[in-house]
A and B are shown apart, each in its own frame.
Chain A
Amino acid sequence: MTQIPRWILPTAISVTVPLPSYAVQYLSVSQAQKLCFPEANQFVAAHVKFTPAQVKAIEAASGEKQLLRGQEIWRAMKGERLQGFFIVDYVIGKHLVIDYAVALSPEGRVKQIEILNYRESYGGEIRNPDWRKQFVGKTARSHFALNEGIANISGATLSCRHVTEGVRRVLATYEVCLK
């Protein structure tokens, strides 16, 4: 599981994940880069640490709160030619952080969105020791398998609204910091 860089973390919020959770790592950053820009031969890091004025401008342009202190951005290059921008962003899903990547064209249009890491917690019940006990000694064949044991869940009408809002914020970040 990838670690969220410290310099990006909001000071007030801890994003560590100590609770048992359903987690899927779909793609690493470099895998996603290659899938979004197959023709690129170089990804040049152009990370941004926001100034207070930039945070304000992003919030004003997107209507979304900017909790991150910076953004991981790569320029996808084919030789000297800019193919677009590859931006990693983080949003809180139901309870936990979802990492995803947005690929933008040089003009700032969304080319592709890929989820990198998806995490879903088992909510407040985990704090209850009886609930925890159910999992002690469970094998992979158990109905209550955690983590890797759960590959697919049915009945998961989890909304992707947070990612949609995040993309709006990323587009505003492009306007403010990259254009």
Chain B
Amino acid sequence: MKFASSEARRARPLLGTFVDITARGADETDLHRAIDRAFATIQRVDRLMSFHDSGSDVWRINRDGFPKGVIVHPWTWRVLTCAQEFSRKSNGVFDITIGRQLVKWDYLPKLGKRFGSGGSWRDIVLDNKRNVRFHRPLIVDLGGIAKGFAVDRAVEALKNNGVKAGIVNAGGDLRAFGSASQFVHLRHPAWPTRIAGAVRLRERAMATSGVYFERRKYRGKYVGPLLDGRTGQSGRDLISVSVAAAECMVADALTKIVFTLREKAADLLAQYHSDALLLERDGAPSWIFHSLCDTPDRIRFA
């Protein structure tokens, strides 16, 4: 066996954040080539699932999902299918149609009246043959899940290009692969410029959601971009939720659910063999959940 002797690390502005890729292997030139491929893959996900870009799948389904329906790329289809599964299992806490509220609060740009103003995930129909149709005009935003999917695809691209170990970090949604465990630091929920602690990850993805820099005022009240899909209300607490899972897409979606449901999300976490860590305003962990399945790779809270 060849020993991993080189390391390459690069970052690019993608997905609205900084995407940071570390790859370890034998030959540096090969590592850089693999990283190039991984970035290209992320760019592809970005182009398909961007809320803003005219021509993205998301933009097209928001425009023509009602009443016509739109055929989407297999990747978009996978993310939509997964999102709907989480909506079903969380009874609507996770809901990709909360975009309308984010538009109202200025987190997302206004699209004009014809893009609809009501409805929920239940109004999305995923027909066979990758056709997406709405029962009524809707605004779908994949911001809560597509980043995780992009990380998974990037890891796949690295592996397909011969990288044995590494980590892909898209602004806090990350996935480590390879034999060595990785140390990942967590931001302080109330002081995002401080570190609250660290966890060890091995062959595992982790996503963290908090309000952090994103809190803003709307009609005199603080709001955040993390919403309870059932009520359209935002979580205002300065807490952070980290979820570790095999796939980053799953971790990404679950953080949003745990943010609202807290301990009540335990069953769902167990179903997905996921672990969760909830940090309170003071930076101290208030809830740690280890999935019931006995996996040797489970998250370790250092």
Contacts and interface: CB of A to CB of B under 8 A. Distances in A.
A154 B208 contact: yes
A47 B22 CA distance: 31
Interface stretch (A1-9, A69-77, A113-121): A113-121
B78 to A, nearest CB: 23
B12 A143 contact: no
Contact of B171 (A24, A27, A157): A157
Interface in A154-168: 154-160, 163-164
Contacts of A150: 185, 195
Interface stretch (B55-63, B109-117, B209-217, B290-298): B209-217
A16 B39 CA distance: 31
B44 interface: no
B214 A154 contact: no
Contact of B17 (A122, A144, A159): A159
B240 interface: yes
B206 to A, nearest CB: 6
A150 B302 CA distance: 14
Given A123-B193, A125-B191, A114 B10 contact: yes
Interface string A6-17: 000000000000
Nearest to A131: B194
Given A118-B11, A153-B186, A160-B13, A35 B207 contact: no
Contacts of A159: 16-17, 213
Interface residues of B, number: 44
Given A115-B18, A156-B172, A157-B171, A163 B187 contact: no
Interface string B134-150: 00000000000000000
A152 interface: yes
Contacts of B36: 35
A143 B36 CA distance: 32
Contact of B12 (A115, A152, A157): A115
Interface of B: 9-14, 16-18, 20, 22, 32, 36, 167, 169, 171-174, 182-187, 191-195, 197-199, 206-210, 212-214, 240, 242, 302
Interface of A: 24, 26-27, 35, 94-95, 100, 113-115, 118, 120-123, 125, 143-144, 150-160, 163-164
Given A115-B18, A154-B184, 17 more contacts: A26-B10, A94-B213, A95-B193, A115-B12, A152-B184, A153-B185, A153-B186, A153-B195, A155-B187, A155-B208, A155-B209, A156-B187, A156-B192, A157-B212, A158-B171, A159-B16, A160-B17
12 contacts: A95-B193, A113-B12, A115-B13, A143-B195, A143-B198, A151-B182, A152-B169, A153-B187, A155-B208, A155-B212, A157-B17, A163-B13
